[in-house]
Amino acid sequence: MNSRKFKCVIFDCDGVLVDSEIISNTVLVDMANTFGAKLNYDEALEMFRGKSMNLCLEIIEARIQSPLPNDFEKNYRAQTALAFKKDIQAVEGVKTLVEQLKVPFCVASSGPEHKIKLNLSLTGLISHFENKMFSCYGIQKWKPDPGVFIWAAETMGFNIDECVVVEDTLTGVTAAKNGGFFTIGYSERDVNNTLISKADVTFKTMAEVQEFLNNHI
């Protein structure tokens, strides 16, 4: 591993570039609880992290044993957009990382492209990712399917073994490993240490991620 060199870095968005997961989960829990889901925030963060929106809605419907309204997701997107505009920040240390990164990089996320653009714009990161944003919605395949990472690598012009993926959820790490990618687990919020068993390496801070990348590019 010490001699391995990467030519492209693929970042997840939520929880890796932008500190959005607590905000979006708070909105989702509050909305779900109005329909009787009886979720608490810590439980929901573990339950929903890294999962597609459709799967999150299925989990909520199973808990309330009833279908959610047809406009639930639309209202959720609207409320999270407002919450992001008020509270969202870049993950600590990630601006320095991308500003100093000496190889091509991109973002590959389960979220819709408009959400990726909004969050990167609000956090001052958008200029680093123009025309380098890949959404699962673009190919209609969601993590743990590796499709979005494979699409990103191919579009960026690199082979899978030339890329490294940075992910913060077990679902995301699993997706990257399913595609054959070397995977860094960003574990700052991984309280149960779920990433260690699946990621190739794990780091608690972006400074550590940056040091690792500097030694392998």
pLDDT in tens, 13-38: 999 999 988 899 999 999 999 999 99
> What average pLDDT score do residues 121-150 get?
97
Residue 2 reports pLDDT greater than 60: no
The four Cα atoms 44, 61, 83, 21 give a dihedral, to 10 degrees, of 30
Q: What is the mean pLDDT of residues 40-63?
A: 90
**What is the secondary structure of 50-113 as a DSSP string?**
T--HHHHHHHHHHHHTSPPPTTHHHHHHHHHHHHHHHH--BPTTHHHHHHH--S-EEEEESS-H
Provide the mean pLDDT of the chain. 95
Decide if pLDDT at 1 tops 80. no
CA distance linking residue 196 with residue 192, whole number of Å: 10
Tokens of 24: 């979006």
What top-level class would CATH report for the domain 8-20+88-214? Answer: alpha beta
b/e map of 133-168 (b: 16 or more CB within 10 Å)? bbbbbeeebbbbbbbbbbbbbeebebebebbbbbbb
Lowest-pLDDT range, 23-37, 40-54, 89-103, 196-210?
Answer: 40-54
Q: What is the mean pLDDT of the segment spanning 81-101?
A: 95
Q: In this structure, how many other beta carbons lie within 10 angstroms of the beta carbon of residue 36?
A: 12
**Dihedral angle sign, alpha carbons of residues 127, 129, 131, 133:** negative
Domain boundaries in the chain? 8-20+88-214, 21-87
Q: Among 55, 75, 94, which residue's Cα sits nearest to residue 203? A: 94
Q: Which residue has the tokens 């960003």?
A: 186
Give 58-69 pLDDT, tens digit per residue. 999 999 999 999
Mean pLDDT of all residues in 118-132: 97
Per DSSP, the three-state class of 133 is strand
Residue 90 has pLDDT above 80, yes or no: yes
Report yes or no: 169 and 157 within 8 Å, Cβ to Cβ: no
Omega of the bond leading into 144 within 30 degrees of 0 (cis): yes
For the segment 108-135, the average pLDDT, to the nearest whole number, is 96
* Mean pLDDT, range 79-90, rounded to an integer: 93
